[in-house]
């Protein structure tokens, strides 16, 4: 594509540039995106509309669907909340303190990104089973983790941790020490400085981390199904119910649940973008 090709009509779509390859790369990008992502996703929408509102509503309000969605969202919310507390703590320790093994610990935080979910699932199930390494100490206390909703929370904590740490950590690194010094000279003790000066500035990053961990946890499948026990109405997650419906060749049922989950995850994506836009205006960084 030459400069001459940049006619006024094109100008409106893109700024002129001497660099070639715009048409080729953008064309390929859009084509590939359409074939791999957009058309298949549109299929879900199409199948849902085909279903009709009455059928869709019947599936969506079915007891088993509702309890599966409740289990998915409840456990994901709880796990994301735990991850916020410990994720911020871990990020703080990694950013502020120097101790032997810090670098290894920092790298280890990404383990849930790298470890296949099925492997994490069977390992967690083995650890938290009543005769497992951790489970044997919890069993006498009457706490059952594996094969209960609590087990789902444990798996989702594993999956979601890096999202919180990796969102909060870079923002924490950028905190201006002078702000803390000012707080100290104005008579704030350390706890006040942390609670009322540092943490509020981290709020958008923490919220984004929470939303990312939550969004990931809601859809998680591999690590959960081994530890959950998968009892309908108790510890059956929504993605598993989709798989069960598919195995029964009940495509409409699977599609309807998928459509609900898609709507919710796109809403989450929208919320995350809102938080980031707000953060850019209010705090000058992208959380």
Partner 1 sequence: MSVEALSRPLPDGAAAGTLAPVSKAAFKRATTETTATKAVLIGIALLFLALVLVLPLVAVFVEAFRKGAGEFLFALNEPDTLAAIRLTLLVAAIAVPCNLIFGVAAAWAIAKFEFKGKAFLTTLIDLPFSVSPVISGLVYVLLFGAGIVLGPWLKSHGIEILFAVPGIVLATIFVTFPFVARELIPLMQDQGTGDEEAAISLGASGWQAFWYVTLPNIKWGLLYGVLLCNARAMGEFGAVSVVSGHIRGLTNTMPLHVEILYNEYNFVAAFAVSTLLAALALVTLVLKSVLEFRYGDEIAATAKH
Answer whether 269's CB lies under 8 Å from 214's CB. no
CA distances from 108 to 35, 102, 103, 111, 224 (A): 36, 10, 9, 5, 21
Show contacts with partner 1 in window 66-95 (CB under 8 A). 86, 89-90, 92-94
234/171 Cα distance (integer angstroms) = 39
> Taking CB under 8 A as the rule, which mask of x and - marks residues 256-275 in contact with partner 1?
--x--xx--xx-xx---x--
Return phi, psi of residue 232, to 5°. Answer: -55, 140
- Residue 230 binds to partner 1 (criterion: CB under 8 A): no
Sole binder of partner 1 in the list 66, 195, 243, 277 (CB under 8 A): 243
Segment contacting partner 1 by CB under 8 A, of 55-63, 137-145, 164-172, 228-236: 164-172
Token digits for 188?
Answer: 């704030």
Binding of partner 1 at residue 114 (CB under 8 A)?
yes
Question: Measured from the CB of residue 260, what is the shortest distance to partner 1 in angstroms?
Answer: 10
CB of 180 to partner 1, least distance (A): 4
Q: In the range 141-160, which residues lie near partner 1 by CB under 8 A?
A: 157-158
* Terminal-to-terminal C-alpha distance of the chain: 38
Nearest distance from residue 57's CB to partner 1, in Å? 20
255 touches partner 1 by CB under 8 A: yes
Residues 3-42 that bind partner 1 (CB under 8 A): 12-15, 17-22, 24-26, 28-30, 32-33, 36-41
Cα(182)–Cα(80) distance, integer angstroms: 33
Residue 230: partners with Cβ closer than 8 Å, 6 or more residues away = 236, 240
């Amino acid at each position: 594509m030459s400069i001459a090709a940049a006619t006024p009509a094109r100008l409106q779509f893109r700024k002129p540039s001497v660099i070639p390859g715009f048409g080729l790369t953008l064309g390929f990008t859009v084509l590939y995106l359409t074939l791999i992502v957009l058309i298949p996703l549109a299929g879900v929408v199409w199948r849902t509309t085909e279903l009709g509102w009455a059928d869709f509503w019947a599936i969506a309000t079915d007891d088993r669907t509702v309890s599966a969605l409740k289990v998915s969202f409840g456990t994901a919310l709880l796990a994301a909340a735990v991850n916020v507390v410990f994720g911020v703590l871990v990020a703080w320790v990694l950013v502020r303190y120097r101790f032997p093994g810090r670098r290894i610990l920092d790298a280890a935080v990404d383990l849930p990104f790298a470890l296949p979910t099925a492997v994490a699932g069977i390992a967690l199930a083995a650890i938290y089973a009543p005769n497992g390494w951790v489970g044997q100490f919890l069993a006498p206390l009457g706490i059952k983790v594996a094969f209960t909703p609590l087990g789902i929370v444990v798996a989702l904590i594993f999956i979601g941790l890096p999202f919180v740490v990796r969102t909060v950590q870079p923002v924490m690194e950028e905190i201006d020490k002078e702000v803390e010094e000012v707080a100290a000279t104005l008579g704030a003790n350390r706890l006040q400085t942390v609670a009322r000066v540092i943490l509020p500035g981290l709020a958008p990053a923490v919220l984004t981390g929470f939303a990312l961990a939550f969004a990931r946890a809601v859809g998680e499948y591999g690590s959960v199904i081994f530890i959950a026990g998968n009892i309908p109405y108790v510890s059956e997650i929504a993605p598993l119910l989709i798989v069960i419906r598919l195995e029964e060749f009940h495509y409409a049922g699977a599609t309807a649940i998928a459509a609900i989950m898609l709507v919710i995850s796109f809403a989450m994506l929208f919320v995350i973008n809102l938080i980031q836009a707000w953060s850019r205006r209010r705090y000058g960084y992208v959380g």
